[in-house]
Structures are given as structure tokens and as C-alpha cells.
Amino acid sequence: MSTFSDVDASARPQELIAYLDHAHHGLQAPKLRLEQGLAVQHGALVLDLGCGTGHELARLEAGGAVAVGIDASTVMLHAGLARLTDKGLPARLAQADAARLPFGAAAFDACRIERVLQHVADPAAVLAEARRVLRPGGTLAVCEPDWSSFTIASADPETAAAVAGQVGAQIAHRAVGRDLRRLLVAAGFTEVRVEVELAVYASLEELSPIISLPHAAERARDTGRISPAQADHWLAEQSALSADGGFHATLNRSVLAWAR
């Protein structure tokens, strides 16, 4: 289970809040793209499922929407309340499991879900709830990564594949980005559009805030996929590539989907 699956049980929730605040700046392009596709009208009632620290609630409110946030974590909701209050914006927040929403059917004009499905127990149940609370014709926007899409160049592609296979291994649904279209159709959405934002990393310094190669190599080693010597040799190769400019890694970091 990843830490974002149960933030309140985390030993260091402030680190998770800091991670979200850092990611908020690094993910501006996909976040703006997601909002463009959602095309919220002035005064529309919009639900942010798994709202975290409330960055997007503030953006929606500032843009003229009436934004409602739910999150499973009281720590996150307190952070969201502080952000909205500081900005003088109304705070409409509730603690809830995204798979059991405390709202009636067809209550919202639009709904957004960002980097949440990867952490929940049952992504299909969350999408079914999103569909239930959306009015007919209302739009859902989703953004999730596909950690299983990670690739990295190496003279030893077998070890590279073994390490890449461990990226996001602690996350409940590491490949949910890849499954978005299938899951949305299964939830009953008929108009589904998907875009992918490919991230390219040219050094270990660029990659390490997102993915820790030493942790992934450690997991590949500890699960017997590679030997300790292979792990050390491979990590040394990646450090050398990073130092001399030959490092190359890619990730479908944001899979964006809009559905009605």
C-alpha cells in the first residue's frame, strides 16, 4: 500500500503535503490542460475527488466555479482548509471515501480526479461513483500517471527492465493511467478522450524527485530479480551516463482523460 492510500496513518504526513506542494509547481502544464478540457462554466458546481491540499479547489474558485472537495484524509483536508481560508475563498470540504460519496445522484456539473485512482482500493468503484454524482452530460476529467511505462536506456537492457518493473511497485494501481479509457468505458461513460504527456529525463538529478533508481534497484535485488553485483554495476553505469550526458529515461507521467 502506498502512503497516499492512507495519509492519516502515515508517520510523516507533512512530507506528503510538501510533496503535493512541490508537485503542484512541477505539474502546471498537465493541470492546466486538464482544466482546459473540463471547460467549467461560471457558477458550475465542480467536485474534486481526492482534493489533497486544495490547490485545484482554489484554482476552480478563482475561475468562477463553485468547488467542492472530498478527501479520505483529515490531515489533507486541514491543509486544504488553511489554503482556502488564507486566500479568502469559501471552503466546501468533506471527509469521504471516493467510492462512497455523501452526495445524491446528478448533483454536480463536473468532476475532476487527479493522481487519486492509483491509490484507492477499487478505481472502478470510484469512477462509478463519479458517474453517479455527475448530471447527464456533465464532464469528468482524470489525470493519473502510468508508472509501468517507465523506460531507461542502458547497455544492460535486462537489468534496466528488471529495475523499471519495480518503479511504483509500492503503489496500489501503478498502471492505472494505461487503463483509464477501459475503466471509463466500463463505468458507463460514452464520450472518452485520452491524451498522454510524455516526460523525458536527461539526468539523474531531473529524475530523482520523481523516481528513485536506487530504491527500484534495491527492490529488484531484494526480490531476487537481479543480483547485488548487477544492481551495483547498473547503478554505477547510470551515474556515469548522467555525468557524461548520455542518460535517457521516459515516463507517461500524466495520462489525461475527459469523459461524459
Ligand X SMILES: C[S@@+](CC[C@H](N)C(=O)[O-])C[C@H]1O[C@@H](n2cnc3c(N)ncnc32)[C@H](O)[C@@H]1O
Residues that bind ligand X (CB under 6 A): 4-5, 7, 20, 50-52, 55, 71-73, 76, 97-98, 114-116, 119-120
Contact 259, 184 (CB under 8 A): yes
**Residue number with the shortest CB distance to ligand X?**
52
Nearer to ligand X, 83 or 181 (CB): 83
Contacts of 254 by beta carbon, 8 Å cutoff, 6+ apart: 27, 30, 143, 144, 145, 177, 196, 197, 199
Nearer to ligand X, 94 or 186 (CB): 94
Which of 17, 15, 4, 12 lies closest to 83 in space, CA to CA? 17
- Rounded to a whole number of angstroms, the minimum distance from the CB of residue 205 to ligand X is 23
Which of 184, 139, 144 lies closest to 46 in space, CA to CA? 139
- Rounded to a whole number of angstroms, the minimum distance from the CB of residue 173 to ligand X is 11
Nearer to ligand X, 102 or 157 (CB): 102
% helix, strand, coil for the chain, step of 5:
45, 25, 35
- Rounded to a whole number of angstroms, the minimum distance from the CB of residue 99 to ligand X is 6
CA–CA dist 236, 227 (Å, integer) = 14
- Rounded to a whole number of angstroms, the minimum distance from the CB of residue 15 to ligand X is 12
Nearer to ligand X, 176 or 220 (CB): 176
CA angle 47–210–94, rounded 5-degree value: 20
Helices (H), the chain: 13-26, 28-38, 55-62, 74-86, 123-133, 157-164, 180-186, 204-207, 213-222, 228-244
- Rounded to a whole number of angstroms, the minimum distance from the CB of residue 96 to ligand X is 6
Nearer to ligand X, 120 or 235 (CB): 120
Nearer to ligand X, 75 or 153 (CB): 75
CA–CA dist 251, 9 (Å, integer) = 29
- Rounded to a whole number of angstroms, the minimum distance from the CB of residue 235 to ligand X is 27
For residue 119, what is its C-alpha cell?
491509490
